[in-house]
Amino acid sequence: MAARESLQARLEQGVDALRLSLPAGAVARLLDYQALLQRWNAAYNLTAVRDPDEMVTRHLLDSLAILPYVQGRSLADLGTGPGLPGIVLAIASPGREILLVDSNGKKVRFLREAIRALKLDHVRAVQSRVEEVEGEYDCITARAFASLADMLGWGGHLLAPEGILLAMKGKQPDDELAGIPTGFVLRSTHQLSVPGLAAERHLLVLGHA
């Protein structure tokens, strides 16, 4: 129990530092998700991050850092892996229809179990290549998924006319900007400060030209 209390304190301090206001019960559900991920990770190797404290920082807080930029009623998280940032955003900002996309069967099995266990009614997971997914979404998220050129080349068809794509990157990817496909533009770049993380984090907001 003490370990969970320590993780909760770390998460709550991070949420305060990010100046976020989460719904009632969200912190507990985020920790339930982290515990489930840790349990499955032992057998399925879903993430290279194994330390629970690091999971709070590198997975939960890193995903929460983009919450102020998320918009619209529907979201597709491309190359979601074990649900990052998609499941974190679903817990932190409920009510939005969310599609989690990954081509890895083990990860999608975990996602479906997490959706069931955490009762995430508006979230579904599909095992698919991004370019084969259909639909239209107000917001698309992608975390360390691919270059901007590939991200938009494979997933740009999913973006609603007024929608935005939030590309989560480490260092500012200046070398990728020239590869943004015709029809899309970079709207803004934000340097993110993730509590407890020394590494650089940037968020690129892209949309239709």
CA–CA distances in Å: residue 39 to residues 1, 11, 105, 112, 147: 16, 19, 17, 15, 31
Give pLDDT tens digits for 163-178: 999 999 999 999 999 9
- Asked if residue 162 lies in contact with residue 138, where contact means CB atoms within 8 angstroms, the answer is yes
> pLDDT averaged over the chain?
96
Query: Is the model's pLDDT at 19 over the cut of 60?
Result: yes
Mean pLDDT of 48-54: 95
- Residue 2 confidence (pLDDT) above 80: no
Q: Stretch 14-18: mean pLDDT, rounded?
A: 98
Rounded (5°) CA angle 94-122-27: 35
pLDDT reported for residue 70: 98
The residue behind tokens 């939960």 is 60
Q: What is the pLDDT of residue 68?
A: 98
Domains within the chain, CATH numbers bracketed: 2-208 (3.40.50.150)
Q: Which residues of 157-173 are buried (b: 16+ CB within 10 A; e: fewer)?
A: ebbbeebbbbbbbeeee
For the cut 60, the answer to whether the pLDDT of residue 36 exceeds it is yes
| Residue-level pLDDT at 1 | 54
The number of beta carbons lying within 10 Å of the beta carbon of residue 24 is 6
Please say if the pLDDT value at position 26 is more than 80: yes
Q: What percent of the chain has pLDDT over 90?
A: 97
